[in-house]
Amino acid sequence: MSMTSYLEAGRRAVMEEMQRDERVWALGEDLGRGGVFGQYKGLQEMFGDERIADTPISEACIMGAAVGAAMTGTRPVVEMRFSDFALCAVDELVNQAAKARFMFGGQMRVPMVVREPIGMWRSSAAQHSQSLEAWYAHIPGLVVVAPATPADNLGLLKTAIRNEDPVVYMEHKNLWALEGEVPEGEHLVPLGKAEVAREGVDLTIVTWSAMRHPCLKAAEDLSAEGIGVEVIDLRTLWPWDREAVLASVGKTGRLLVVQEAVSVAGFGAEIAASVAEALHYRLRAPVRRLGAPRIPVAYAPPLEDQARVTDKAITDAVRGMVVPQTVA
C-alpha cells in the first residue's frame, strides 16, 4: 500500500489501462495540458496526442466522437470537465450510447467511460456545483459510479474502463486532494458492490461520493453517546447493492440516506422506497432522507453553506431517529 491522492489514483487508473490495452484512449478539452484539474498530467507525453487527444470546445462533438469510436472497437475515456457541462452532450449519451445495445439487439456495444466531476467546490457557483447522478441512474443502459476514496477511484475507474457498457463516472471535485492508502499492484473494485465503511447496530446510513466522509465523522461523534451507526458507501449507484443495504437495515431497523444532491427526486428516494417496501414490518423508525434544499448553489460562501449537508446535520438527524423524544 502507498499513500496516494484521489486525483493521482484516477490518473494512475487511466495510465495503467492505456498501457494494458491499446484500444483505450482519452479525449477532451485541454488534456495535453493535463486537464482542468491535472488528472491527465504527463499522459500525452507518454502516449502521444492521438491517444490523449485535445478536442474542440464542444461537449456534443466530444461525446458524439467517443460514441462512434466505441461502436467501432475502441474504448474511449471521455473528459467532460464538469458534470454541468456534460448536459450539452446529453443527447449523444442518453439517446445514443445508452440505447445502442438494446436497439441493435445486442450486436452493438458502447464501451466508454464518461468522467463527469460533480459536487460543490468552494465558490464555484450554480453552473459548476451540481450533483446530477440521479439523472443518469434513471436511464436504462447506463452504469453510474461515484467513488469516495483514492483506492476506490483507482479500482472503480479501471473496472469501468473494462466494462462493455457506457459508464457515467462521477468524481467529486472536493476530493481531488484527499489522500489515502492505495494498493501498489493491480487493483479492481467490482461494480454494484457496496462497502460497509463502519459497522453499527442502531442505525444505517447509506451514502456515496464525498458524503461518505461527514457521515463517518458523524458516526464517530455519535459513538461517544453510545449510538452505533453503520455507514454504507454504495460506490456505484447503478447497479446499486440492494442486498447489502437491506441486510444492514434489517439488522439496525433504521435508515438515513445522505446525499449532497438536491433531496427532491434524488437517488436517495429510490433507496428509501426500496427499503420501505421490503422491510416496512421491521423498521423501528420511519426512513429519512437528508440532502440539499431545492435551490441553486450560490457563489457567496455563507449562501453556499445553506445548501451543504454537514456532519452536524447528519448527527442531529440520527439523534432524532434514535433518541426517544419526550412529549411536553
Please list, residue by residue across 37-63, b when 16 or more beta carbons sit within 10 angstroms of its beta carbon and e when fewer do: bebbeebbeebeeebbbebeeebeebb
* Interaxial angle between packed helices 6-20 and 150-162, expressed in degrees from 0 to 180 and rounded to the nearest 10: 30
CB 120 within 8 A of CB 92: no
Please list, residue by residue across 240-263, b when 16 or more beta carbons sit within 10 angstroms of its beta carbon and e when fewer do: bbbebbbebbeebbbbbbbbbbbb
Cα 191 from Cα 224, distance rounded (Å): 34
Active-site hit among 128, 172, 187, 213: 128
Return the C-alpha cell found at 311.
456532519
* Largest interatomic CA distance in the chain: 71
Q: Known catalytic residue: 128?
A: yes
Return the C-alpha cell found at 185.
499492484
Q: Catalytic residue positions? A: 128
